[in-house]
Structures are given as structure tokens and as C-alpha cells.
């Protein structure tokens, strides 16, 4: 799987996706360290997203310590990070 990360956070997105834009904007103000993967530029990442989203390229899809979240809310993402990847939070 392209972009596999079993410890950190990976955001799978694509250009012009309004849901991606919204989540990416919210992430600008978070303390979260993550890697972004554009599924239009990475066929393996697109295949991974399809594998966890019922065959669809539903984005944003986020993995937290390898656990997929399809189109998560910021709250769901924050809770998953706190539980599975607290090291991805920047300390103030």
C-alpha cells in the first residue's frame, strides 16, 4: 500500500474535493502532524482508498496508526489520534 504508516497519520485526498478542502482547512489549525497523499498522483494510494471505502475513491480518507477512517469528522479524527497515535500531536 502506498503511503502505509502503521504509527502516524496519513490524509488521502484529491484536488477540488470540497470535503477534502474543509478537512484540510481545519487541520491547518490543529496540532496534528500528518502526511498528505494526493490519490490522483498515486495509483497505489487510490487503490488503497478503494479497498477501505467499498470500492469507491471516497476522500478524505485518513489512516491513524494504520486504521482507516473514511470521510471522518474532525472529532472522529481527533479521538482516533488520541487513542492510537498520540505521538502525532505536537506538544505546545
4 part of a folded domain? no
- Judged against a pLDDT cut of 70, whether residue 3 lies above it is answered with no
**Other CB atoms closer than 10 Å to residue 41's CB: what's the count?**
10
81 in a domain, yes or no? yes
Contact of 36 with 15, CB cutoff 8 Å: no
Instruction: Give the CATH number for residue 30.
Output: 3.40.30.10
pLDDT at residue number 6: 75
Indicate whether 92 pLDDT > 60: no
Q: How many domains does the chain have?
A: 1
Residue 3 belongs to a domain: no
Find the helix or strand (DSSP H, E) in which 66 lies.
none
pLDDT one-digit tens code per residue, 29-39: 888 999 999 99
**pTM > 0.95:** no
C-alpha atoms less than 13 angstroms from C-alpha of 28 in its C-beta half-sphere: 6
User: What pLDDT score was predicted for residue 1?
Assistant: 45
Amino acid at each position: 500500500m502506498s503511503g502505509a504508516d502503521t504509527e502516524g497519520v496519513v490524509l488521502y485526498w484529491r484536488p477540488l474535493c470540497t470535503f477534502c478542502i474543509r478537512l484540510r482547512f481545519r487541520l491547518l489549525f490543529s496540532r496534528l502532524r500528518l502526511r498528505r497523499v494526493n490519490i490522483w498522483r498515486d495509483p497505489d494510494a487510490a487503490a488503497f482508498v478503494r479497498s477501505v471505502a467499498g470500492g469507491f475513491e471516497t476522500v478524505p480518507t485518513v489512516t491513524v496508526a494504520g486504521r482507516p477512517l473514511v470521510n471522518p469528522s474532525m472529532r472522529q479524527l481527533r479521538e482516533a489520534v488520541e487513542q492510537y497515535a498520540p505521538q502525532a500531536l505536537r506538544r505546545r
